[in-house]
Every structure is written in C-alpha cells, then in structure tokens.
A and B are shown apart, each in its own frame.
Chain A
Amino acid sequence: NFMLTQPHSVSESPGRTVTISCTRSSGSIASNYVQWYQQRPGSSPTTVIYGDTQRPSGVPNRFSGSIDSSSNSASLTISGLKAEDEADYYCLSYDSSISNWVFGGGTKLTVL
C-alpha cells in the first residue's frame, strides 16, 4: 500500500507559475500513471492531466504534468495563472498490489 502526499495549500499571483507536488510514500512513482483533477468550489472534479503528462482535449496547455523518480513524486504545473484556476487539485494513482485507486489529500490553490 502507498499514500500520495500533497501540500495542503499553495498560493500565487495571477500570471505567475505554480507547481503542486504529489509524493508517493512507497514503490516507484513511475510504476503507475498519475492523474490530476481540478475541483472548483461547489463543482465536481474534472481531469486536467492523465497518463502523467497528457492533457484531455479542452484543457489549456498552461497545465502540464511531470514525474520525478529522484523525489518519487509527480507534479502539476500551472503557468500564466488565472483567477479561474483557483480550486482544489487532487492527484490519483493506482495501487496494483491491492487493486485500489489512491487519491492524494488535495491541494487548495489560491490565486492572490
């Protein structure tokens, strides 16, 4: 079993770039793809990144994903921040050992 740990909150100014991390507690981050979901207040989650780095159609290229084996973590980077990006962001990956999908605890992004 593993956990995905995210910072509780991050904040940045409009137009700037922010990166949200998602650290896997055990096993390699590269073992299973990581996905990222955006949840605006009062709304359902939507996918912003799947397959570590892929953007669904309709998601702006300001959103990008990556993984770093050295820190065993995945990252979501949002450039050119806009007020509409203010939301909670969750990472998600699959635990093959117990056939379970694991969400990170979520990160609240505030666009100042």
Chain B
Amino acid sequence: QVQLQESGPGLVKPSQTLSLTCSVSGGSISSGGHYWSWVRQHPGKGLEWIGYIYYNGGTTYYNPSLKSRVTILVDTSKNQFSLKLSSVTAADTAIYYCARVSGYDFYFDPWGQGTLVTVSS
C-alpha cells in the first residue's frame, strides 16, 4: 500500500523559498502512470491545489495563481518528489499535503499526513 510522507522546514522567513519533499513508500513513483501533487490548506480554511507532476517528470501543471512561484520536481532514484515555492509571504502559511493522483480517474489518493509551514521572521 502506497504511503506518502512530507518533510521539510516548519518555519520559513518572508521572501525566502519554501522547500518540501514527499517520500513515497510501498510502491515506485515511476510506475503506474500517476501524477504526484501538492495541495495546501490555510489554517482553518479550505483546500487549494498547488500543482502536480507526471510520474516521468516530463510534464508539470501548476495552479495559475501560483505558477510564477512554484516548481515541482520528481527524483525517481530517491522515490521522492519536491515542492519549491519562492518569495513566500505570511499568506503562504499553511498545511502542505502531498498526494498521488490516478492518471486514469484523476482522484487524489492517498494523501500524506501534511506538514505545517509557517512564514514568519
């Protein structure tokens, strides 16, 4: 059973780059034709899709509202994928989730447990 686990700094200073990694266990990130996604949730608020990358690392899709600041990469050798969000502000404080997206039915499952990132000086 595939499991995902987010990791990275819990505190980032304003104007810096937020960097998170999602480690995939129980299956290969490069098999099955899946997409690998990041979703965030502002404290006490709803969900916001950030973007995803195809399993072969060749294609990325980003939320248009974040596109200029987001980079998602996949590292098949480590069975991980990553998120970089540049020029962060307090508005980027959120719980960040990674999730697998079925390449056929396009539903997000499973999800990682989420990691809280706070942007503050």
Chain A residues proximal to chain B, CB less than 8 Å: 33, 35, 37, 44-47, 50-51, 54, 56, 90, 92, 94, 98-106
Contacts and interface: CB of A to CB of B under 8 A. Distances in A.
Contact of A100 (B64, B107, B112): B64
Given A100-B49, A101-B49, A106-B47, A94 B63 contact: no
A90 B46 contact: yes
Contacts, number: 52
Interface of B: 46-49, 61, 63-64, 97, 105-114
- Going nearest first, the 9 A-B pairs with the smallest beta carbon separation are A50-B107, A101-B49, A44-B111, A103-B47, A47-B109, A106-B46, A105-B46, A47-B107, A35-B107
A98 B46 contact: no
Which of B47, B48, B106, B114 has most A Cβ within 10 Å? B47
A94 B106 contact: yes
Contacts of B112: 44
Contacts of A101: 49, 63
B49 A56 contact: no
Contacts of B108: 35, 37, 45, 47, 92
A100 B51 CA distance: 8
A9 B62 CA distance: 30
Nearest to B65: A100
A103 B105 contact: no
A50 B46 contact: no
Contacts of B97: 44-45
